[in-house]
Every structure is written in structure tokens, then in C-alpha cells.
Homo-oligomer: A and B are copies of this chain.
Amino acid sequence: MAGEFDNFEEILNDHIPVDKLKYVKRILYGAELESLEFSAEAQALASDKGFEVKGYVFPAAKETTRSPRVVRVAGIQNKIVLPTTASVVEQRDAMHKRIKDILHCAALCGVNIICMQEAWTMPFAFCTREKQPWCEFAESAEHGPTTKLLQELAMQYNMVIISPILEREEDRGDVLQNTAVVITNTGNVLGKSRKNHIPRVGDFNESTYYMEGNTGHKVFDTNFGKVAINICYGRHHPQNWMLYGLNGAEIVFNPSATVGALSEPLWSIEARNAAIANSYFTVAINRVGMEVFPNEFTSADGKPAHKDFGHFYGSSYITGPDGARTPSLSRTKDGLIIAEIDLNQCRQVKDKWGFRMTQRLDLYIQELNSIMKPDWKPDIVKETADK
């Protein structure tokens, strides 16, 4: 990717002396995380197929009344495989093949729960505002070819798979939705969770294709932990993260598609802040690369029409409830990020920091209820002549 550097952390590692690097990383990342080692077979597969695989261990304390609940969670970031001029079926099948390889590697690495990037079966074509052929990528969450494929793999690998797709609600007027499908390790569709907040910024013309999600803030109680999915732009809304926490989530995935000039300085802040504020783990996943479309489109930025959208900067990372985070995956390469976590750490951090106990929800409900009244006035104290 011309002009794009690959990895932020490598710059730090290459130039800062070891004794100072320790301080820098403590400030930037929090508690130090050990690396996970994977089998030669897993490493060979990743190397052969051209993607990174990185793993880290989040330490938790031992408890006397609960056994550890150690699981491995993961996220996948990747480029599209075929040019956007290939047929819809060819493009989707090529993505299926690519993800099959990475899921196979994840299985070799002992992953229990995994999530792909937002709308993973397709290019992020919403920049074009064209309906065809892009709407054809939409499929049934329950019966589509992507779900069918993943049900088989979930059973084969004993893995919970979270599959963010463009959904076609066939039974409800063929409406499109931006949806994450939760497939259990027994191969069942446990349910789905939709994107609650839809952007209208830059090339993200998604409100042209689908509306705000109507599935609320469901948490899915899987065999490997309670998970929820906050899709892409929902990460900018702390109240969205909070409601997943209030429903009991232990891990919240944030499958995304976002580009450098727009959001990169925000990327390392938002999912991490959510982990801290809600005492749970977050897995932030972004796609990689530049996507070039057949017809030109404009970006509402005063610049000439063009055919490319990106650079999607990857940089997927995982954060623990104490704010400790992994380094990021590459900004330019496909990759698989894995964390070994003890779900018990969520409650341990709640007991230590007490954010839930001190949350004062009653105060906020009262204030928010009055804000929604037509005669509400903001609580502003103004300087007056006689004050």
C-alpha cells in the first residue's frame, strides 16, 4: 500500500531503547501482556496463506469460590479477494474461501469465539450509493449461503462464530439490515444483533441502504461466555456500549470498516474506553486495504470523482476490563488477533473500581426523561447584569 506504513508499534519497538520502551508501553497499553505461542502447523498455514497471527494472554487473579473461565477470543481483518468487477457470486465465494483458511488457523490456535469484520462477504460498496449489484450481496441471516457455510465450520471447529453480513429480511419486505449473526459451536443460529447507529459521514452513505437496528442490546449467552456485538459506528456512542454492559456482556465485538483520514486517531480510544467504562473485554476489528469500484463516485469533500475507497487501516486490537490492551494488527495486511482471557476478570475489575456500583443510573434516567419532554430547557446558568 504505497505511502501507508504497516505497523505503529514496530516503529516504537525499532527506535526506543528497551528500558524506556517499558515505560512508553505501560502508558500506551497498560499492564504488560505475554504473547501466546501457536503450533508450527498454525504458523505455517498463516505464512503460506499470507496473513498475520498474533496472540496475547490477559492475566486474571485466582479466586477461591469460582474456577477460572479461560477462553480464547479472536477477530479477523482482511482485504477483499477479487476485484469488485467480478460477479457477486464469485466475489462472495472468494471471500468464503479466504475466511475458511483463516478460521482453520483459528481452530489450530484453540480459538473458542471469533468475529469477522463488518459486512465481511462484500466490498464496502456503500460509498457508491449505487444499489446494483451491491444489494445482491445481502442474504438471509438464518438460511443464507454464508450462514450455512459457517454452521458447518462452527460445528467442525467447536467454535462460536459471529458473522457480520448485509442481511436481507426476506420475510419482512426484502428490507436490508446491517446484522451480526451469532452461530453457536453446535452449529445453531442463536440470534442476531443489528447495527444501532448508522453513519452519515464521508463515504459512509449507509443510511441509503438500511435503517437503524431494531434488535436493541441483546447479549448472547454462549458456551464460552456472554457476548454482544456493537457494529462499527456504534462505537462512537458510549450509551450503546453501556447498554450491552447492563445486559451482562463479558465480551463485546466491534466489527468495523473505517478509513484512515476519517477515524484513525479515534480508533485506539473508543473501544478501549468502552472496555474500561463497562468492565468487559472489547474486540475492535477493522478491514484492510483499498477497494476500487467500477464507476466513479464523489465523496462530498469538494474533490473530483474517483473510483477508490480506503485505505481501511486494519489495526484490530483487544482490550481487557482493566484497560490493558494488545498491540494492533498490521495497518495493511490480513490478520488474526487472538486473546486468551479469563472471564472472571470482569467481576474482579468491577469489585476493584466499582464503576457499576457508582453508576447512578437513576439520576441519568431522570435527567434523560426530562430532556425528552417538549418543554425541556438545558440546565444553563447564565451570567446576568445583576449577578
Contact = CB atoms under 8 A, between A and B. Distances in A.
Interface of A: 5, 8, 11-12, 15-17, 20, 23-24, 26-31, 182, 184, 186, 188, 190-191, 196-201, 212, 216-223, 226, 233, 236-239, 241-243, 246-248, 264-266, 268-270, 272-273, 276-277, 323-324, 352-355, 357-365, 367-369, 371-372, 378-383, 387
Contacts of A277: 236-238, 270
A214 B216 CA distance: 31
A277 to B, nearest CB: 5
Contacts of A272: 269
Contact of A323 (B8, B216, B266, B365): B266
Given A237-B358, A273-B273, A372 B379 contact: no
Nearest to A236: B355
Given A237-B277, A367-B216, A379-B216, A361 B355 contact: no
A387 B188 CA distance: 7
Nearest to A23: B5
B369 A369 contact: yes
Number of copies: 2
Given A11-B24, A368-B364, A355 B237 contact: yes
Given A29-B265, A236-B353, A238-B277, A368 B358 contact: no
Contacts of A27: 8, 264-265, 268
Contacts of A20: 5, 11, 15
B276 A266 contact: yes
Nearest to A263: B323
Contacts of A197: 358-360
A324 B220 contact: no
Nearest to A270: B273
B378 A372 contact: no
A221 B23 contact: no
B218 A381 contact: yes
A247 to B, nearest CB: 4
A19 B200 CA distance: 33
A326 to B, nearest CB: 13
A192 to B, nearest CB: 9
B30 A382 contact: no
A64 B301 CA distance: 18
Nearest to A353: B201
Contacts of A223: 383
Nearest to A362: B372
A221 B11 contact: no
A162 to B, nearest CB: 13
A220 B381 CA distance: 5
A264 B12 CA distance: 19
A387 to B, nearest CB: 5
B268 A276 contact: no
Contact of A238 (B11, B29, B273, B357): B273
7 contacts: A8-B27, A11-B16, A16-B16, A26-B264, A196-B363, A219-B379, A265-B324
Contacts of A226: 380
Contacts of A242: 238-239
B238 A352 contact: no
A177 to B, nearest CB: 16
Contacts of A379: 216-219, 247
Contacts of A324: 265
A384 B372 CA distance: 39
Nearest to A160: B383
A265 B353 CA distance: 14
